[in-house]
Every structure is written in structure tokens, then in C-alpha cells.
């Protein structure tokens, strides 16, 4: 089991002091190398769920076990390190650091993990996403689709066991959307990486075997 | 990727703001380096080590005036001293010291100096002195180098390096003197010939025309009429015996007094005299330079000479260090404070530049964190940016400062006769770097803290 969530709750405190429950998940699992698409209404808490899994946000209670480690029990620095090594994260837009070239963006992910920087692996990944002719371009010189492909390469750089993708195709035109999606899925398959991909697009969702609607397993109101 | 490399790339992303702020630090440091270099030049020029003289013996009056005039050739002596100070008072004063038999026990050398005239061309101060002046150390451990010969004949001259360069004089050049300073207008008839040219020393000697003191005495107008000379000796409290009186009259006898326009010295044609023919009692000198065998000897000898009330002995080192402390020292402090202020302002500029960029970079920082960077890592990257700007600017400023001196050095040398070594580093410059690193830490701390505190989830959603 690559990801297993138990009794997870998360709420935000509103400016007035009222608690706003967002997540209340009894049980949610993703198997090794499984690919899951997550759909749901806007504001439903999909991004929050990914952030909690990535350890970028802390939950209120419950367990998030990734590859045998419950990330909710880790200290912040340990979580940072765990994230660097085990989790790849692709956002909707502006994934890349503008001061660095495509290659450098991929290498940066490696250096933050504290591992030895594997330049040839970075080059391999960029070639895999079809960008070997754009290695030394800065993000502003790349199209949105190309930027997203660099982000995918970077997310896979540390050979993670889980790839989180938060509406990665939302800002990409339809022609490139399928292309990008295919690429993400193939790369995950090749590297046996579990994938959790958030999307609004029915078109995208229909390509996956397993489609999860957030509201089907998340009952925030029940938490109160 | 090294954190400093990451910091550097982020700076490159904001190339204009980064280079301008680094340049502001560089300009501040450049000014600071210039002040330090100028200061060390002034220090060397007015330094104790640059004076080979233990005591300057001159007319009673201002210690500082005597030293400036005798050693630095700034200003004219207020009055002259009878030659007897040299031949009688100084040896006697030395012999009065406890445990001293002969004056040579404590005195290494004594050299007289006459001053007051300037060269007609270039208006360089003219010093009449003995050839010995060029054989002794002009500063501790430093001796003159020269081209040509010592000025052994009365109308021989030795010129400083700057004089030679500016007047285009060389061995064999002939020149005349203007009496009593450039504005008196009276040009002496006597022609002097350059026998030798001194090598550059970085001291006032470079801009001095030296003539043989005998020649100086022989110049018409440099000698007093016998009555006046006798009266002067008596004014100074010397006994003038009838025999000496007769000798004085005899030596200057037979010549008609003829007044020069503008001054009322009597004069006579040197051509009629045999060299060295002037009796000591008709000679007057401006200063007598004394080198004692030990510093203590000079401390003891000075009051002994001053006791006689005829002349004033002063240790130039004491006078100069007083002057340095009082005036130059404070100026240096003031200038350093000003340049430090410039550097501080530059530091504030860096702070503003980095701090302003932080709001635009929240997402960048969040991305780094999402990639697994620790809070401490993003803090260090921002601190690294301020470090690179401060220290990079500092190194640039150091090079620019010394570069400025490289460009200015030949100019300063030709204008002021001061030799500047542009690559001489002041110890203060080493202090600059810890200070700059401290400043960078201070300046980078708050923006670094902003990075440290950035909420990843919030900043990713923006
Ligand atoms: N830092 C926050 N503080 C308060 N409320 C937040 C915060 N982040 C998100 N929310 C709220 O939580 C809810 C879920 O947001 P999000 O996870 O982004 O939803 P989704 O990604 O499904 O659109 C929204 O109502 C949003 O306004
Ligand atoms: Mg979302």
C-alpha cells in the first residue's frame, strides 16, 4: 500500500474564530503504482487534501501513512525531508522557479533532498518528457505545456513513491492536455509511482480506471 | 546545487536591482579604500620613520613652524641663528650632559641649513647645506641615491627628483635664485650649476634645490655688514672680543656698501672672494639638524640647548605626532565615519531591495519548500543573497578603490611629489570583510525571516 489515510480531519479557523471543517476522511487508500483521479466541486478541499498528504499542511487528527511512514507524526524538518524523497508534487500553474533553467529546476529538487545530485537522471527525465532541446531555457521562454512537462520531470527526479498532481492540465490547451496526461501516466507506470491526480475535466477523468469523488468519502459536516 | 549558487541565480533574475545595490556598496567601499590609502600616504609622509633628524635647532618661536620649515620645507624660518650656535652652543650643551666627555659621544652628526630663497624657475625652496647632508640617512634606514656628483664646490647644486622632472634640469643645468621668496622679485646674479640629481625619496627633499652652503653665503645680500653682524652677536648674548671684532671688519672690509632695491642688505661680488673665505661670525644659518646617537640623548640634549635661550631645539617626531593626533587623526576619523555612513546607506539599499522582492517571491519560496527545502534552507538562501551583494560589492569596491589609486598615483607623484603604492593594503581593509559579513547578516535577516515564515500551502494557492 503506497498511501493509506485513516480518520483524517482538517479544519480552518475563520477570521471570526469559527472553525470551518474541510476534511473528514475515514479511510482512503492507494495501492503501489495505482493511478487515481480525484474529482469534486470547487472549494471542496481537494487541494487541502493533497497538501496534507504532502505534509505541506498539518492535519488536525488521523494518520497519513505513505510507504509505511505516518507523516502526521513527523517533525517539520523530517516532513520536509520525507517530502523531498518520497513525494512529487505538480501544481496547476507556475510550478517552476523563474531564476533557473529547465535542467536547473530538475536539479534543484534533487539538491533539496540532500541526496547526491544525479545529473544524468535529470537529463533522462527531461528527455523522457521530450524537452532535451529546452534544457537551458528559463521558464519564461517555455510554453505552459512545456513548463508542466518540466514540473513532471522535476516531481519524478527523486524517484518518489507517490506523485500528487493538482489540476496539472487545467491551463494547457486540449491538444496538449491529452499529451501531458499520457506522459504523466506513462512516466508513473514506468517508474512504479502511485499517482493521485485532481481534475475538473470529465474528459481527463474518463481516462482513469479509478475515479474518486471527494464528497463520496469526505464528510466534513459529520466531524462536528 | 550550492545554496550560494541558488542565491546568485536569484540575484541574476533581478539583475538591475542587484547590480545597482552591489554597486552602491562598491562605491562606499571604494571611497573608504581611497581614504585609507590617502591616510597611509599622509601617515608615511609625516611619519616618525620618515625623519632621520633627532633635533631641529632653529630660532626661538614656534616648534611646529621650525619643523615644518626645516623638515617639510613649508614656510620660511622666522629668523636666522649665528654660526656660533653650531660651533659653540651645541658642543657645549652636549658636554654639559652627565658622563659626556666629548660632544661626539652623544652626537652622531650636525648639519647646518640655510633657507629663504627659492629657485627662479619653478619657485622651489632653496636650501644651503653641506655635502654631508646627502651622505646621512634622510629617514631611518634610508639613504639618498643620486646621479652625478655631490655639490662640493660653492656654486654647485644638488636637486630633488621632482625639481629635476618639473624644471627639466639635469647635471650641468644652470640656474639662479630669487632672494627671500618668490614674491621679493630680486633675482640674485650668481649662477649655480647642478652637480647631482637625487633619486625620488617621497619626502620634501624631492622638491628642494640644495646648494652648497658656502655658495649660499657668498651670494651678495646673504651677508650682513660688519657692524650689524657684531651687533647681532651681542644681541644673542655672545661675547665679541676686540680681536674678533677686528677679524670681522677685516674680512668684509674694503667693500662699498650698496643697497639692493627692496631690501637693505649690503652685498659684495663673490668673484672677488676666495671660497671658504668668510669668517664664521659673518655667517648665519636657518636651522641646524642634529642626529644623536640615541633617542634618550636627544631628549636630554634639547633642554640643555634651550637653556642657552639663543636657539630652540625640538624633536621633530614629537611635534609631528602631536600634529598628526590633533589634526590628521581627527580628519581621518571623520572621513572614515563618512565613508562608513555611505556603506551603511548602501546596506539599507540592499535591505530595501531584497525586502521588496520578498512579496513577489512568496510562491518561489513555497515551491522550494514543496520540493523539500527546509525553512532554514530558504532562510539561508535569502541571507546568501544579501551576503553576495555585500561581500561582492565589497570586493568590487576594494578593486575599484585601488584601481582609482593606480590611476591617481602618477598624477599625485608629479603634483605633490608623494610616491603612492597603490597595492599597499591597509590593515583596516581586512576588517572590512567581517564588517561587511556582519552587515549582510543584519540586512538579510528580516527578509530571511519572511522566507522562513512563509506558509507553503497559502503561498501555493495564491
Ligand atoms: N489557509 C486557509 N484558511 C482558511 N480557509 C482556507 C484556507 N485554504 C483553503 N481554505 C478553504 O478551504 C476550502 C477548500 O479549499 P481547497 O482545498 O483549495 O478546495 P479545492 O482545491 O477543492 O477547490 C475552501 O473553502 C477554501 O476557501
Ligand atoms: Mg484546488
Give DSSP secondary structure letters for B352-364: HHHHHHHHHTHHH
Q: Are residues B33 and B111 in the same domain?
A: no
- Ligand 1: centre distance to CA A45 (Å): 6
Q: Are B218 and B275 in contact (CB under 8 A)?
A: yes
**In this complex, do B460 and A84 lie within 8 Å of one another by their Cβ atoms?**
no
Res B257 pLDDT > 50: no
Res A19 pLDDT > 80: yes
Q: Are residues B394 and B297 in the same domain?
A: no
**In this complex, do A112 and B375 lie within 8 Å of one another by their Cβ atoms?**
no
Dist CA B120 CA B175 (whole Å): 7
Q: What is the dihedral of CA B97, B103, B104, B108, to 10 degrees?
A: 80
Suggest the residue from B2, B367, B385, B459 to mutate for an interface test with chain A (most A CBs closer than 10 A).
Answer: B367
Name the closest-CA residue to atom 7, ligand 1: A12
B370: cell is 514543496
A155: cell is 516531481
Could you tell me the residue range of the domain that residue B419 belongs to?
A: 3-45+322-461
Dist CA B89 CA A150 (whole Å): 95
Q: Band the pLDDT of B310: cuts 50, 70, 90.
A: confident
User: How many Å separate Cα B66 from the centre of its chain?
Assistant: 16
Ligand 1: nearest atom to the Cα of A51: 17
Q: Are B12 and A99 in contact (CB under 8 A)?
A: yes
β pairing state of A19-30 and A69-70: unpaired
ipTM strictly over 0.90?
yes
Q: How far is CA B164 from CA A196, B142, B200, B310, in A?
A: 89, 21, 10, 37
Q: Are B51 and B139 in contact (CB under 8 A)?
A: yes
Q: How many residues does chain B have?
A: 462
Q: What is the dihedral of CA A122, A126, A129, A133, to 10 degrees?
A: -170
Dist CA B50 CA B316 (whole Å): 10
Least confident of B48-52, B101-105, B215-219, B346-350: B48-52
- Vertex B421, ends B419 and B427: CA angle to 5°? 130
Q: Band the pLDDT of B47: cuts 50, 70, 90.
A: low
Average the pLDDT over A74-96 and give the result: 93
> What is the per-residue pLDDT for B427?
78
**CB-based contacts of B79: which residues, under 8 Å, 6+ apart?**
B59, B60, B61
Residue from the list B1, B372, B456 with its beta carbon closest to the beta carbon of A107: B1
Q: Are A152 and A184 in contact (CB under 8 A)?
A: yes
Distance from the Cα of B372 to chain A's closest Cα (Å) equals: 4
Q: How far is CA B254 from CA B261, B267, B299, in A?
A: 22, 12, 46
Q: Residue B286 — φ and ψ, nearest 5°?
A: -90, -50
Dist CA B113 CA B119 (whole Å): 16
Considering the four listed CATH numbers 1.10.1740.10, 3.40.50.10190, 3.40.50.300, 3.40.50.970, the one that applies to the domain covering A3-223 is: 3.40.50.300
Residue with cell 634640469: B169
Q: Are residues B262 and B123 in the same domain?
A: yes
> What is the per-residue pLDDT for B182?
57
Residue from the list A57, A100, A111 with its beta carbon closest to the beta carbon of B457: A57
Q: Are residues B285 and B400 in the same domain?
A: no
Least confident of A57-66, B15-24, B421-430: B421-430
Q: Are residues B307 and B330 in the same domain?
A: no
B79: cell is 629668523
Q: Domain boundary at B300, B315, B330, which?
A: B315
Q: Domain boundary at B283, B315, B347, which?
A: B315
DSSP structure string for B204-257 = GGGG-EEEEHHHHHHSTTSS--HHHHHHHHHHTT----HHHHHHHHHHHTTPPP
Helices A102-113 and A119-128, interaxial angle, to 10°?
130
**CB-based contacts of A165: which residues, under 8 Å, 6+ apart?**
A89, A90, A152, A155, A184, A195, A196, A197, A198
Ion ligand 2, residue ranges at CB < 5 A: A 47
In the Cβ-directed half-sphere of A189, how many Cα atoms lie within 13 Å?
Answer: 7
**In this complex, do A154 and B460 lie within 8 Å of one another by their Cβ atoms?**
no
Dist CA B21 CA B357 (whole Å): 13
Res B274 pLDDT > 60: no
- Ligand 1: centre distance to CA A110 (Å): 30
> What is the per-residue pLDDT for B263?
42
Helices B3-13 and B15-45, interaxial angle, to 10°?
110
Distance from the Cα of B40 to chain A's closest Cα (Å) equals: 44
Q: Are residues B281 and B134 in the same domain?
A: yes
Q: Which residue has the higher pLDDT, B263 or B11?
A: B11
State how many domains chain B has. Answer: 2
Q: Is B1 on the interface with A (CB under 8 A)?
A: yes
Note the pTM of the prediction, 2 decimals. Answer: 0.73
Average the pLDDT over B188-200 and give the result: 92
pLDDT, mean over chain B: 85
Q: Are residues B227 and B203 in the same domain?
A: yes
Q: Are residues B142 and B287 in the same domain?
A: yes
B134: cell is 646627502
Average the pLDDT over A87-92 and give the result: 94
Q: Which residue has the higher pLDDT, A1 or B58?
A: B58
Average the pLDDT over B203-218 and give the result: 91
Q: Band the pLDDT of B282: cuts 50, 70, 90.
A: confident
The maximal CA–CA distance of chain B, rounded, in angstroms, is 114
- For A194-204, how does the pLDDT look when each residue is reduced to its tens digit (9 = 90+)? 999 999 999 99
Q: Domain boundary at B315, B336, B355, which?
A: B315
Average the pLDDT over B8-30 and give the result: 91
Res A167 pLDDT > 90: yes
The torsion region of residue B141 among left (phi > 0), alpha (psi -120 to 50) and beta comes to: left
DSSP structure string for A8-19 = EEEEEE-TTS-E
Dist CA A184 CA A195 (whole Å): 9
| Three-class secondary structure of residue B59 per DSSP | coil
**Per-domain residue ranges of chain A:** 3-223
> In 3-state terms, chain A is what percent helix, strand and coil (to 5)?
40, 25, 35
Taking CA–CA distances from A79, the nearest residue in chain B reads B372
> What is the per-residue pLDDT for B272?
42
> What is the per-residue pLDDT for B277?
67
| Three-class secondary structure of residue B169 per DSSP | coil
Ligand 1: nearest atom to the Cα of A42: 23
Dist CA B30 CA B25 (whole Å): 8
Least confident of A82-86, B351-355, B383-387: B351-355
Residue with cell 603604492: B421
Q: Which residues of A64-94 are buried (b: 16+ CB within 10 A; e: fewer)?
A: bbbbeeebbebeeeebbbbbbbbbbbbbbbb
Q: Are residues B441 and B408 in the same domain?
A: yes
Question: Cβ < 6 Å from ligand 1: which residues?
Answer: A 12, 22, 40, 42-48; B 458
Q: Which residues of B touch A154 (CB under 8 A)?
A: 371
Res A223 pLDDT > 90: no
Q: Is B6 on the interface with A (CB under 8 A)?
A: yes
| Three-class secondary structure of residue A104 per DSSP | helix
- Vertex B333, ends B332 and B336: CA angle to 5°? 85
Average the pLDDT over B26-46 and give the result: 81
**In this complex, do A48 and B377 lie within 8 Å of one another by their Cβ atoms?**
no
Res B271 pLDDT > 60: no
Q: Are B316 and B287 in contact (CB under 8 A)?
A: no
Q: Are residues B140 and B255 in the same domain?
A: yes
Q: Are A168 and A197 in contact (CB under 8 A)?
A: yes
- For B338-348, how does the pLDDT look when each residue is reduced to its tens digit (9 = 90+)? 888 888 888 89
Distance from the Cα of A7 to chain B's closest Cα (Å) equals: 21
Name the closest-CA residue to atom 4, ligand 1: A12
Ligand 1: nearest atom to the Cα of A40: 22
Ligand at shortest distance from the CA of B457: 1
Q: How many CB atoms lie within 10 A of CB A186?
A: 12
Residue from the list A57, A77, A99 with its beta carbon closest to the beta carbon of B12: A99
> What is the per-residue pLDDT for A194?
97
Least confident of B34-48, B100-114, B232-246: B34-48
> What is the per-residue pLDDT for B318?
86
**In this complex, do A154 and B371 lie within 8 Å of one another by their Cβ atoms?**
yes
Ligand at shortest distance from the CA of A44: 1
**In this complex, do A91 and B364 lie within 8 Å of one another by their Cβ atoms?**
no
Res A119 pLDDT > 90: yes
Q: Which residues of B28-52 are buried (b: 16+ CB within 10 A; e: fewer)?
A: bbbbbbbbbbbbbbebbbbbeebbb
- Ligand 2: centre distance to CA B70 (Å): 88
pLDDT > 70 fraction of chain A, expressed in percent and rounded: 99
Q: Are residues B275 and B342 in the same domain?
A: no
Dist CA A67 CA B10 (whole Å): 35
Q: How many residues does chain A have?
A: 224
Q: Band the pLDDT of B417: cuts 50, 70, 90.
A: low
Q: Are residues B449 and B329 in the same domain?
A: yes
> What is the per-residue pLDDT for B256?
42
A219: cell is 464528510
Q: Band the pLDDT of B326: cuts 50, 70, 90.
A: confident
Q: Using only the alpha carbons of chain A, give its radius of gyration.
A: 17
Dist CA B404 CA B398 (whole Å): 10
Distance from the Cα of A50 to chain B's closest Cα (Å) equals: 10
Amino acid at each position: 500500500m503506497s498511501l493509506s489515510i485513516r480518520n483524517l480531519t482538517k479544519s480552518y479557523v475563520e477570521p471570526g474564530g469559527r472553525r470551518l471543517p474541510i476534511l473528514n476522511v475515514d479511510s482512503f487508500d492507494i495501492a503501489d503504482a495505482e493511478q487515481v483521479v480525484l474529482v469534486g466541486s470547487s472549494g471542496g478541499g481537494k487541494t487541502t487534501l493533497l497538501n496534507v498528504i504532502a505534509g505541506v499542511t498539518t492535519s488536525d487528527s488521523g494518520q497519513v501513512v505513505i510507504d509505511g511512514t505516518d507523516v502526521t507524526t513527523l517533525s517539520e524538518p523530517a516532513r520536509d525531508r520525507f517530502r523531498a524523497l518520497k513525494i512529487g508534487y505538480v501544481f496547476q500553474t507556475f510550478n517552476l522557479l523563474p531564476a533557473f533553467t529547465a535542467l536547473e529546476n530538475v536539479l534543484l529538487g534533487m539538491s533539496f533532498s540532500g541526496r547526491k545530485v544525479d545529473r544524468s537522471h535529470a537529463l533522462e527525465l527531461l528527455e523522457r518528457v521530450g524537452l532535451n532541446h529546452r534544457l537551458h531555457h528559463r521558464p519564461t521562454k517555455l510554453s505552459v505545456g512545456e513548463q508542466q512537462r518540466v514540473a513532471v520531470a522535476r516531481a519524478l527526479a527523486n524517484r518518489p513513491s507517490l506523485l500528487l498532481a493538482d489540476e496539472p492540465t487545467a491551463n494547457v490547451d486540449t491538444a496538449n492536455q491529452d499529451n501531458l496526461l499520457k506522459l504523466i501516466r506513462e512516466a508513473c507506470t514506468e517508474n512504479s509511482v502511485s499517482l493521485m491526480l485532481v481534475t475538473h475535466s470529465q474528459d481527463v477523468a474518463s481516462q482513469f480506471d479509478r475515479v474518486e469523488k471527494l464528497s463520496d468519502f469526505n464528510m466534513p459536516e459529520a466531524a462536528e | 546545487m550550492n545554496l550560494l549558487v541558488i542565491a546568485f541565480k536569484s540575484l541574476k533574475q533581478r539583475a538591475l536591482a542587484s547590480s545597482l545595490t552591489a554597486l552602491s556598496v562598491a562605491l562606499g567601499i571604494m571611497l573608504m579604500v581611497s581614504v585609507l590609502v590617502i591616510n597611509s600616504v599622509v601617515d608615511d609622509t609625516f611619519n616618525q620613520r620618515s625623519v632621520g633628524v633627532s633635533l631641529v635647532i632653529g630660532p626661538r618661536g614656534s616648534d611646529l613652524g621650525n619643523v615644518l620649515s626645516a623638515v617639510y620645507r613649508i614656510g620660511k624660518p622666522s629668523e636666522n641663528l649665528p654660526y656660533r650656535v653650531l660651533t659653540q652652543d651645541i658642543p657645549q650643551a652636549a658636554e654639559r650632559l652627565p658622563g659626556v666627555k666629548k660632544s661626539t659621544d652623544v652626537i652622531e652628526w650636525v648639519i647646518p641649513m640655510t633657507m629663504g630663497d627659492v629657485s627662479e624657475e619653478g619657485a622651489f625652496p632653496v636650501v644651503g647645506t653641506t655635502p654631508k647632508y646627502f651622505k646621512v640617512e634622510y629617514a631611518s634606514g634610508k639613504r639618498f641615491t643620486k646621479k652625478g656628483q655631490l655639490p662640493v664646490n660653492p656654486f654647485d647644486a644638488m636637486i630633488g627628483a621632482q625639481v629635476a622632472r618639473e624644471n627639466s634640469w639635469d647635471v650641468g643645468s644652470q640656474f639662479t635664485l630669487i632672494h627671500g621668496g618668490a614674491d621679493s622679485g630680486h633675482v640674485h646674479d650668481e649662477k649655480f650649476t647642478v652637480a647631482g640629481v637625487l633619486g625620488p625619496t617621497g619626502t620634501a627633499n624631492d622638491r628642494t634645490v640644495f646648494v652648497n652652503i658656502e655658495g649660499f653665503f657668498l651670494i651678495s645680500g646673504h651677508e650682513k655688514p660688519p657692524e650689524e653682524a657684531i651687533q647681532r652677536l651681542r644681541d644673542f648674548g655672545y661675547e665679541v672680543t676686540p680681536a674678533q671684532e677686528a677679524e670681522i671688519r677685516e674680512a668684509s672690509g674694503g667693500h662699498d656698501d650698496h643697497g639692493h632695491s627692496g631690501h637693505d642688505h649690503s652685498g659684495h661680488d663673490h668673484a672677488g672672494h676666495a671660497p671658504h673665505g668668510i669668517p664664521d661670525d659673518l655667517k648665519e644659518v636657518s636651522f641646524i639638524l642634529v642626529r644623536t646617537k640615541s633617542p634618550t640623548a636627544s631628549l636630554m640634549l634639547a633642554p640643555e640647548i634651550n637653556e642657552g635661550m639663543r636657539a630652540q631645539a625640538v624633536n621633530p617626531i614629537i611635534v609631528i605626532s602631536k600634529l598628526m593626533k590633533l589634526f590628521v587623526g581627527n580628519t581621518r576619523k571623520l572621513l572614515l565615519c563618512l565613508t562608513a555612513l555611505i556603506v551603511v546607506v548602501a546596506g539599507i539599499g540592499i535591505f530595501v531591495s531584497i525586502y521588496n522582492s520578498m512579496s513577489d517571491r512568496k510562491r518561489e519560496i513555497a515551491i522550494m519548500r514543496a520540493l523539500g527545502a527546509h525553512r532554514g534552507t530558504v532562510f539561508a538562501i535569502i541571507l546568501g543573497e544579501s551576503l553576495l551583494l555585500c561581500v561582492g560589492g565589497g570586493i568590487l569596491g576594494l578593486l575599484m578603490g585601488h584601481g582609482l589609486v593606480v590611476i591617481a598615483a602618477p598624477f599625485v607623484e608629479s603634483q605633490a611629489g608623494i610616491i603612492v603604492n597603490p597595492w599597499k593594503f591597509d590593515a583596516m581593509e581586512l576588517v572590512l570583510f567581517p564588517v561587511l559579513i556582519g552587515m549582510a547578516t543584519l540586512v538579510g535577516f528580516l527578509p530571511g525571516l519572511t522566507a522562513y515564515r512563509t506558509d507553503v500551502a497559502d503561498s501555493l494557492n495564491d
